[in-house]
Amino acid sequence: MDERATANLTTNEYLEIREGGYYLAGTRVGLDVLVHAFRAGKSPEAILQAYPSLGSLAKVYGAITSVLEHPEAIESYLAEQDALWKKLREEHPLLDEMQDRFRQTQNTRV
């Protein structure tokens, strides 16, 4: 992972770095999940309902605040995550049936 993206976004009580990626502190929910849900128009309350492991509305709002305060670092991080995802898909392509099931599941989530 390009360390420049992680160096530009500081960790705090709401965000932490683990295994080269950002996560909401104390959870397995990636920062990219929160950003995409928020940009899709989901309210912090809806995000917490979809991901109860986040634990509190305060954590959701805190993470969103971090996102809004560091837009360039977030864009860099998301671009980096997209590149990693693209590389993974190229190296390990999914069968069409699996892709269809994945899309159906994504459409029912946040």
pLDDT number for residue 3: 46
pLDDT number for residue 10: 82
Tens digit of each residue's pLDDT (9 = 90 or more) over 4-62: 445 578 889 999 999 889 999 999 999 999 999 999 999 999 999 999 999 999 999 99
How many angstroms separate the CA atoms of 101 and 103, rounded? 5
How many angstroms separate the CA atoms of 77 and 86, rounded? 14
Record the pTM: 0.73
Spatial CA neighbour of 55 closest among 31, 30, 25: 25
Greater pLDDT, 103 or 67: 67
How many angstroms separate the CA atoms of 74 and 99, rounded? 27
Spatial CA neighbour of 34 closest among 17, 21, 51: 51
